[in-house]
Amino acid sequence: MASLVAVDNKKHLNTKVDLNKVEHHGANLPLIPVVLAEFIHLAVQYPIVLTKNGDTGQFVFSAMLGFEENENLFWQQAQWQGLYVPLQIRRQPFFVETSDAKHHNELAVCLNTDSPAISEEIGQALFDEKGDESSYFKTVKANLTQLLLGEKENKVLIATLTSMALIKPMSLDITFMNQSATKLAGLYTIDEVKLAALNNEQVLSLHQSGLLSAIHTMMISLGQIHTLIDLKNKSLS
Amino acid sequence: MNKLTKKVVVVGGGIAGWLTAGRLAAKHKSNTEQGLTVVLVESPNIPAIGVGEGTWPTMRSTLSALGISETDFIRECDASFKQGAKFAKWVDGSEDDFYYHPLVLPQGFSQGDLAAHWLAKQGQAGTKSFSEDVCFQESVCENGLAPKTIRTPEFAAVANYAYHLDSVKFSVFLQKHCTEKLGVTHIIDNVTGVNSAPNGDISSVSTENNADITGDLFVDCTGFSSLLLGQHYQVPFKSCSDVLFIDTALAVQVPYDDADSPIASHTVSTGQEAGWIWDIGLQHRRGVGYVYSSKYSSEEQAREVLAKYVGDKFSSLTVRKIPIVSGHREKMWQNNCVAVGLSAGFLEPLEASALVMVELSAQMISEQLPQSRDIMDIAAKRFNETFLYRWEKIIDFLKLHYILSKRTDNAFWTDNRNPESIPESLKEAMALWQYRAPADHDFTSNNEVFPAASYQYVLYGMGFKSDYSQNTYALDNIDFAQHQFAQNKKLTDKAVSTLPKNRELINKIIEFGFNRI
């Protein structure tokens, strides 16, 4: 279990974060939750799919990075090889305490003190000697804000997809170069047939709310499954 | 005279009335201009009977056919999951006497018969009860687990399931859905008379405050009073009290100790001196009732039995006494009138057959609704054949539970094993099963209610032994059997380690809801 501590400029005056180790948080993740604003960056390399949160059963958007448990095919030679690193990774090892945010409309930024990226020696400082926030920490906060807002946008898109019945289960049977096969379950995507069957009014509302481009980005991003298969085959050869 | 069927009048609300009206309206597009007109007239004064809190898995397809969301249903009807029934103290009445009739088929059932192999390994170390050895669902129930997870789509299952529900809330829920979504017209009024056409059909029913309500088909959902079929048409009632002795129920609603108390995900039926007690877990309370035969127990004795089962809380509870008249009408469909629910018949709720008979009736009426009067008699004849067969088969299956008991503590149990009280059809089947397990070929009608698997669960759960000594080659496929037993063990471990507690899943459904896919 991660131990989360609220960040303050006295306790963490000397705390530093090693950016090289931040990306390590994603080393074993085949699926990483993403927000709508990232879709366009993600689609260049990763398939964007829907999965269900194990705890709530509700849909979440995820970038797909591997085919099996603990596999991130973009993590090679102890480094992130992808062009774009999802916000969920970049904001590590920081979290937002949302229960407080609800009441005070203010973000309480917490630090995961178990993170290997944290030390007092190597990396970016959170505060300067005077206790003012460093530009690095400001970026972290901006990332966290973007994630929080993104969660809201995600909810709107998912509610729209659900109400228009535009989500369908994805079935993937893949045989890799070494003839090993995998059958992926629990992934969902856009139902193109139902999307094509929407009436003018529905399409217009999707377009005006800006969701139509996100839907298309998701559909296009599925082509990146081949990128993943390529990476997998390379790792097998 | 060839009158088209354009308007159906359902007399009586309650679950039977609303399910029938709903299925008709959904199938025949009552919410469109060209669709069938469905009117439901119900009395403002008749309280719902409020029994029938257990369903079959068929309820999932029924709700789905009505266009109901499972999440809404569970939230609004105090519903929880039911994965079959646990029968306690039915064999000898001892404390560790129990077996399960789960809803999942025995492992590998479609590929081969495990029963012979299970019988052959009696006495071997590691052999468990039939239901535990061949079906993973018993362990799921014993551990208080739900049949699915919050990620499983609406109406889909990890382990086959039905529901426990609050029948009064369900009735209100159905009414709202039928009137708001499906286009059923709701009239609240007392029916004061039945008016005949020259051909003997019902032309209309008279009401206190509205004009006569005309219709082409009338559905009698008036409960035990059987206003149309019984009273108007005088279709005789066929009692089966010579086979099934139960004639009274004492029912109570038992609150949980606290809001987080576990909810059993199966019905518990516990044998008592002159009958048995049902125990059904809903979200906010349990429904508990003692059904007994007044010939073998006074009401006072029965209250004591129920009080002992319920415990300390009993003194603060209201006990409702409900008479049970076991049997059914000799016909369910006469002229242009068909009875659904208690007006057609009722049997003790041992296998939750009341609601499933309503569902099956509503389904057949809606799917085979005769387009016009000239073919209605054919539809009626087929409906009657189908449902008379079903009533007889349910009676056989209920009786099976009694004839396999070895209890001797009361004449209720010993008299139940008197051959004169056993239907011929059941005697014949029992004769065949002396030498082999119940199999699909024993149940060849499209109208079967209980499949061979159900008979196996009860027979071998209650200690019946089919004698395979003359055809030991039935055991030749030992590899198959061992594989299936091992597979069941694997499925059991997986289910027990991955399924959530029943209460936990209910809470998540209330908070988040299921997805449709």
ipTM entry: 0.83
Exposure on the CB side of residue B306, measured as CA atoms within 13 A:
31
DSSP state of B432: H
Strand-pair category, B275-281 with B237-239:
unpaired
Residue A49 CA to residue B95 CA, distance in Å, equals 53
Residue A172 main-chain phi, psi, to 5 deg: -130, 120
Which pLDDT score is estimated for A107?
66
Which of B341, B376, B391 represents a domain boundary (last residue)? B391
- Phi/psi at A51 (nearest 5 deg)? -130, 170
A159 touches chain B (CB under 8 A): no
Report yes or no on B280 lying in a domain.
yes
B350 with B299, same domain?
no
Q: Do A165 and B516 touch (CB under 8 A)?
A: yes
- Compare all CA atoms of chain A with the CA of B506 and give the residue at the minimum distance: A56
Q: Cα A99 to chain center, whole Å?
A: 21
Q: Are A13 and A127 in contact (CB under 8 A)?
A: yes
B 344-373 → A contacts, CB under 8 A: none
CA B338 from chain centre, in angstroms, equals 20
Give the minimum alpha-carbon distance from B500 to chain A in angstroms, rounded to a whole number: 10
On whether residue B480 sits in a domain, the answer given is no
Question: Which residue type sits at A108?
Answer: A
The pLDDT score that the predictor gives to residue A101 is: 46
Do residue B303 and residue B338 come from a single domain? Answer: no
Least confident residue range of A8-22, A43-57, B81-95, B501-515: A8-22
The answer to whether residue B434 is domain-embedded is no
Instruction: Give contacts of B152 with chain A, Cβ < 8 Å.
Output: 57
Q: Please report, for chain A, the start and end positions of each structural domain, with discontinuous segments joined by +.
A: 4-236
Q: Which residue in chain A has the smallest CA separation from B509?
A: A56
**Chain A environment of B516 (Cβ under 8 Å):** 162, 165
Tell me whether B497 touches chain A (CB under 8 Å): no
A56 CB near a chain B CB, below 8 Å?
yes
Q: Which helix (H) or strand (E) holds A150?
A: helix A135-163
**Pairwise CB contact (< 8 Å): B150 & A56:** yes
Using CB atoms within 10 A of its CB, is residue B120 exposed (0-12), middle (13-18) or buried (19+)? Answer: middle
Say if the Cβ atoms of A57 and B517 lie within 8 Å.
no
* Contact check, Cβ <8 Å, B512/A165: no
Task: Please tell me which residue of chain B has the smallest CA distance to A164.
Answer: B516
Report the C-alpha gap between B30 and B26 in whole angstroms.
7
Q: B210 and B332 share a domain?
A: yes
Residue by residue, pLDDT tens for chain A (237 residues) are 567 888 988 889 889 999 888 998 999 999 999 999 999 999 999 999 999 999 999 999 999 999 999 999 999 988 899 999 999 999 989 998 766 545 555 668 999 988 889 999 999 999 998 999 999 999 999 999 999 999 999 999 999 999 999 999 998 889 998 998 888 889 999 999 999 999 999 999 999 999 999 999 999 999 999 999 999 999 888
**A193-222 confidence digits (pLDDT tens):** 999 999 999 999 999 999 999 999 999 999
Please report which helix (H) or strand (E) contains residue A61, including its range.
strand A59-64
φ, ψ for residue A140, nearest 5 deg: -55, -45
Q: Which of B305, B323, B341 is the last residue of a domain?
A: B323
Pair (B319, B253) in one structural domain: yes
The average pLDDT across B82-92 equals: 98
| Residue A20 confidence (pLDDT) | 85
Predicted confidence (pLDDT) per residue in B307-321, tens digit: 999 999 999 999 999
Residue B326 clears pLDDT 50, i.e. is over it:
yes
Per CB-CB distance under 8 Å, the chain A contacts of B150 are: 55-57
Per CB-CB distance under 8 Å, the chain A contacts of B513 are: 57
Q: Does residue B501 sit at the A interface (CB-CB below 8 Å)?
A: no
pLDDT at B52 over 80: no
Percentage of chain A exceeding pLDDT 90:
70
Q: Is B311 found in the same domain as B192?
A: no
Residues of A in contact with B511 (CB under 8 A): 56
Assess whether B229 and B277 both reside in one domain.
Answer: no
- Average pLDDT over every residue of B216-224: 96
Q: What is the mean pLDDT of chain B?
A: 95
Domain co-membership, B284 together with B386: no
Q: State pTM to two decimals.
A: 0.92
Length of chain A counted residue by residue? 237
Cβ(B112)–Cβ(B125) under 8 Å?
A: no
CB contacts < 8 A (A, B): 32
Q: What is the largest CA-CA distance in chain A?
A: 61
**CA–CA gap between residue B45 and residue B58 (Å, rounded):** 31
**Mean local confidence (pLDDT), B419-446:** 94
- Amino acid identity of residue A207, one-letter, is H
C-alpha to C-alpha distance for B446 and B426, rounded to whole angstroms: 19
Distance between CA atoms of residues B174 and B151, nearest Å = 26
pLDDT at B189 over 90: yes
| pLDDT tens sequence across B238-259 | 999 999 999 999 999 999 999 9
Residues B171 and B318 in one domain: no
- Average pLDDT in the B433-449 region? 90
Predicted confidence (pLDDT) at residue B435 exceeds the cutoff of 60: yes
Nearest C-alpha neighbor of B338 from the set B383, B378, B371: B383
pLDDT at A99: 60
- Domain annotation covers residue B223: yes
| Secondary structure class of B199 (helix, strand, coil) | coil
Q: How would DSSP label each residue in B302-360? A: HHHHHHHHH-GGGGGSPPEEEE---EEES-SEETTEEE-GGGTEE--GGG-HHHHHHHH
Q: Please give the share of chain B, as a percent, with pLDDT higher than 90.
A: 93
Q: Which residues of A touch B149 (CB under 8 A)?
A: 54, 57
Q: Nearest residue of A to residue B151 by CA position?
A: A57
Report pLDDT for A105. Answer: 59
Q: Give the domain extent around B311.
A: 248-323
Q: How many domains does chain B have?
A: 2
Within-domain flag for B437 = no
B372 secondary structure, DSSP code = B
What tokens does B354 get? 């009341």
Residue B515: inside a domain: no
- CATH number for the domain that contains residue B28: 3.50.50.60
Say if A165 is an interface residue toward chain B (CB within 8 Å): yes
- Please report residues of B whose CB lies closer than 8 A to that of A54: 149, 151
Taking CB atoms and an 8 Å limit, are B515 and A57 in contact across chains?
yes
In this predicted model, what pLDDT tens digit does every residue of B129-141 receive, in sequence order?
999 999 999 999 9
Cβ of residue B508 closer than 8 Å to a chain A Cβ: yes
CB–CB of A56 and B516 under 8 A? no
Quick check: is B38 in a domain? yes
Are B309 and B257 in the same domain?
Answer: yes
Q: What confidence score (pLDDT) does residue A183 get?
A: 87
pLDDT of B289 higher than 90: yes
Same domain? For B315 and B334 the reply is no
pLDDT in tens, B16-39: 999 999 999 999 999 999 999 999
Whether B129 contacts B461, CB under 8 Å:
yes
What pLDDT does B46 receive? 74
Per the domain annotation, does B385 fall within a domain?
Answer: yes
Determine the 3-state secondary structure of B23 from DSSP. Answer: helix
- Condensed to tens digits (0 to 9), the pLDDT of residues B139-173 reads 999 999 999 999 999 999 999 999 999 999 999 99
B259 phi, psi to nearest 5 deg: -65, -20
User: Is beta strand B7-11 parallel, antiparallel or unpaired with respect to B37-42?
Assistant: parallel
